[in-house]
Amino acid sequence: MSERPISRFPVPELKGLPEDVRAKILAVQEKAGFVPNVFLTLAHRPDEFRAFFAYHDALMEKDEGLTKAEREMIVVATSGANGCLYCVVAHGAILRIRSKNPRVADQVATNYRKAEITPRQRAMLDFAMKVALDSATVDDADFAALREHGFTDDAIWDIGAIAAFFAMSNRLANVSSMRPNDEFFLMGRVPKS
């Protein structure tokens, strides 16, 4: 049944896209071996496409304060809470690869309190979930709890901003009924020999 549409909205053909959008998509395809559907479903709005991925990369493609795997944990935990199939499956794959742990994505998506993570990562996810689910009540005590685990202002900003960015991303995927590519489901699950 993977023949189901990848979006509720029209998906443009590659050849009609602006050059930079098309180039970005081809580069991803080159690297991953396939085009993740988020690139195709957002491409009908080139300006939003550009801003979305610029924002995404600014938050996710760095390793300071939080590791790349930890950033993906935030995505998977909050996306699970938001019932976002695309993000749980696609970022679950990335989390498995970056953490080199084939179980942690399923754990974090279902109930991060039972996941194979450190107490510091648990505190990180406690905060991320509060930002995702009840940001109006975030207060100084939450910041104090994070600082006890050694998180700097910059790392706290990253946790909050990643949870915030995927609050947006989850809603875009849920509204468009964005379908995760079949490839993501198995990625990072089988140890390479």
**Which residues of the shown chain bind its own copies in the complex (CB under 8 A)?**
1-2, 4, 8-10, 45, 47-48, 50-52, 54-55, 58-59, 80, 82-85, 88-89, 92, 101-103, 106-107, 109-111, 113-114, 116, 131-132, 135-139, 143, 153, 157, 160-161, 163-165, 167-172, 174-177, 179, 182, 185-186, 189-190
Min. distance of Cβ 83 from its own copies in angstroms?
3
Q: Which DSSP string do the residues of 76-94 spell out, in sequence order?
A: HHHHHHTT-HHHHHHHHHH
**What is the rounded CA–CA span in Å between residue 61 and residue 122?**
21
Cβ closest to its own copies, residue 30 vs residue 42: 42
Min. distance of Cβ 134 from its own copies in angstroms?
9
**What is the rounded CA–CA span in Å between residue 73 and residue 182?**
21
Min. distance of Cβ 148 from its own copies in angstroms?
16
**What is the rounded CA–CA span in Å between residue 103 and residue 115?**
9
What backbone torsions phi and psi does residue 181 show, to the nearest 5 degrees?
Answer: -60, 145
Cβ closest to its own copies, residue 25 vs residue 59: 59
What's 64-79 look like in SS3? CCCCHHHHHHHHHHHH
Cβ closest to its own copies, residue 25 vs residue 77: 77
Nearest to 157 by CA among 147, 148, 171: 147
- Find out whether 124 and 66 touch, Cβ atoms under 8 Å: yes
Min. distance of Cβ 120 from its own copies in angstroms?
14
Cβ closest to its own copies, residue 30 vs residue 190: 190
Cβ closest to its own copies, residue 14 vs residue 53: 53
Residue ranges of E strands in the chain: none
Min. distance of Cβ 184 from its own copies in angstroms?
9
